[in-house]
């Protein structure tokens, strides 16, 4: 009996569809997908996590980069494009950005503020709600101490997201910002439910 020739394209399509359905099912299990952004003109860290009840899971993290030798406007445009691609690929439902820390370097603070503006703009253009958190608030939420150093932040991020492979310090900070936003969102949800029960 002659065998029917194998349709490779059909097999590939079926496999791709199966993987897509699996991803969709996994995403449906999450209550919320959060994008954390650590603003920076040279390195803008980003991290995406899923929130399911009190459970946090890592999705992806990375760094948007721009070269110090380029014109400022071009660097901002480059960061805009890279971050927009991250949002398009991972489809977060909400975002969080760290607030600018004002220091003695006025020019540096101004440039950081411009990068932060790009981060908020890209998120807003994608229709995301954007939370803002002071650096000390992020550290206190994730580590328990408002003046924790980067090593402590990195350690606690790894503790809360088991198995995570962190690209670099900037993406570790971004994941910490996402975790901070997730905890605040959970607290707000608990408060909203309590108020709803009280008013019922």
For the chain, what are the domain ranges? 32-199
Q: Are 56 and 159 in contact (CB under 8 A)?
A: no
Q: Are 164 and 158 in contact (CB under 8 A)?
A: yes
- Mapping DSSP to helix (H, G, I), strand (E, B) and coil, where does residue 167 land? coil
Helices (H), the chain: 8-28, 72-90, 106-125, 135-142, 150-160, 169-199
Strand partners, 44: 64
Provide the pLDDT for residue 15: 36
On the question of pLDDT at 24 being above 60, the answer is: no
Question: Directed axis angle between helix 135-142 and helix 169-199, to 10°?
Answer: 80
Provide the pLDDT for residue 189: 54
pLDDT band at 10 (very low <50, low <70, confident <90, very high): very low
Tell me the catalytic residues.
38, 98, 170
Query: β-strands 94-98, 55-65: how paired?
Result: unpaired
Provide the pLDDT for residue 188: 52
- For residues 70 and 21, the model is more confident at 70
Question: pLDDT tens digit string along 129-165?
Answer: 999 999 999 999 999 988 899 999 999 999 999 999 9
On the question of pLDDT at 73 being above 80, the answer is: yes
Q: What mean pLDDT, rounded, does the chain reach? A: 83
Question: Over pLDDT 70: what percentage of the chain?
Answer: 78
Provide the pLDDT for residue 27: 46
- The class level of CATH for 32-199 reads alpha beta
pTM: 0.79
pLDDT band at 23 (very low <50, low <70, confident <90, very high): very low
User: Alpha-carbon distance 31 to 48, whole Å?
Assistant: 14
């Amino acid at each position: 009996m002659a065998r029917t020739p194998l349709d490779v394209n059909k097999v590939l399509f079926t496999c791709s569809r199966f993987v897509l359905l699996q991803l969709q099912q996994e995403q449906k299990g999450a209550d919320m997908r959060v994008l954390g952004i650590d603003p920076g003109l040279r390195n803008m860290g980003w991290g995406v996590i899923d929130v399911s009840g009190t459970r946090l899971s890592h999705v992806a993290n990375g760094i948007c980069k721009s070269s110090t030798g380029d014109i400022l406007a071009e660097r901002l445009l480059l960061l805009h494009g890279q971050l927009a691609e991250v949002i398009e690929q991972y489809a977060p439902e909400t975002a969080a950005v760290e607030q600018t820390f004002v220091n003695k370097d006025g020019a540096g603070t101004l440039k950081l503020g411009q990068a932060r503006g790009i981060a908020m703009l890209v998120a807003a253009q994608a229709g995301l709600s954007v939370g803002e958190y002071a650096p000390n608030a992020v550290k206190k939420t994730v580590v328990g101490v408002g003046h924790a150093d980067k090593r402590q932040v990195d350690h606690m991020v790894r503790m809360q997201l088991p198995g995570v492979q962190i690209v670099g310090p900037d993406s570790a900070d971004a994941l910490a910002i996402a975790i901070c936003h997730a905890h605040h969102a959970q607290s707000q949800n608990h408060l909203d439910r309590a108020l709803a029960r009280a008013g019922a």
